[in-house]
Amino acid sequence: MTISKKDVEHVAKLARLGLSEEEKEKLTQQLNDILKYAEQINQLDTDKVPPTSHSIPMQNVFREDEAKPCRNTADILANGPQTQETTFRVPKMLE
């Protein structure tokens, strides 16, 4: 499998990542190199091998969903690029 510049553009769109033309060229080359190396995993037959998503077996931990007061709203909002009262402002989404 080889990756084209068009693939890079598609993936960048999925990742919401802006890239310059130069970055696109470089990434096309580098991703191809890395994936070529990574494709050695296809040498192994894993048809009967189950996947591992977590190294240590564990189960979901549940708790009651209870509303609690937030103690430091002001500190949280202070990190917002743009805020209004107790909300974060974003640029317009729709015309």
Partner 1 sequence: MSDKLYTKTVHELHQLMKTKKVSSVELVTAIYERIEQVDDKVKAYLTLTKAAALIEAQKVDKRIADAKEIGPLEGIPVAIKDNMCTEGVKTTCASKILANYIPPYNATAVTELEDDGAIILGKLNMDEFAMGSSCENSAFFPTHNPWNLKTVPGGSSGGSAAAVAADEAPFALGSDTGGSIRQPASFCGVVGMKPTYGRVSRYGLVAFASSLDQIGPLAKDVTDTAIIMNVICGYDPYDSTSIDKKVPDHTKALTGKLDEIKTVGVVKELLGKGISPEVKKSIEEAIKVYEKLGAKIKMISMPSFEYALSCYYLVATAEASSNLARYDGVKFGLRSADSPDLLSMYYNTRREGFGPEVKRRIMLGTYALSSGYYDAYYLKAQKIRTLIKRDFEAAFKEVDVLISPTTPTVAFNIGEKSDDPLSMYLSDIATIPINLAGIPAISIPCGLAKGLPIGLQIMGNVLEEEKIIKAAYAFEQKTKWHKERPKL
Amino acid, single-letter form, for residue 80: G
Report d(CA 13, CA 23) in Å as an integer. Answer: 14
Among residues 21, 51, 69, 84, the one that binds partner 1 under rule CB under 8 A: 51
Is 76:70 a contact under the CB 8 Å cutoff?
yes
How far apart are CB 29 and partner 1 at their closest, in Å?
11
How far is the CA of 3 from the CAs of 21, 30, 42, 58, 77, in angstroms? 16, 10, 17, 37, 41
How far apart are CB 34 and partner 1 at their closest, in Å?
6
How far apart are CB 67 and partner 1 at their closest, in Å?
17
Per the listing, tokens 């994936």 go with 35
Q: Please give the residues from 26 up to 45 whose contact with partner 1 meets the rule CB under 8 A.
A: 27, 30-31, 33-35, 37-44
Other beta carbons within 10 angstroms of residue 8's beta carbon come to: 21
Q: Count residues contacting partner 1 (CB under 8 A)?
A: 53
Which residues bind to partner 1, rule: CB under 8 A?
Answer: 1, 3, 7-8, 11-12, 14-20, 23, 27, 30-31, 33-35, 37-44, 46, 49-56, 58, 60-61, 72, 75-76, 78-82, 88, 90-93
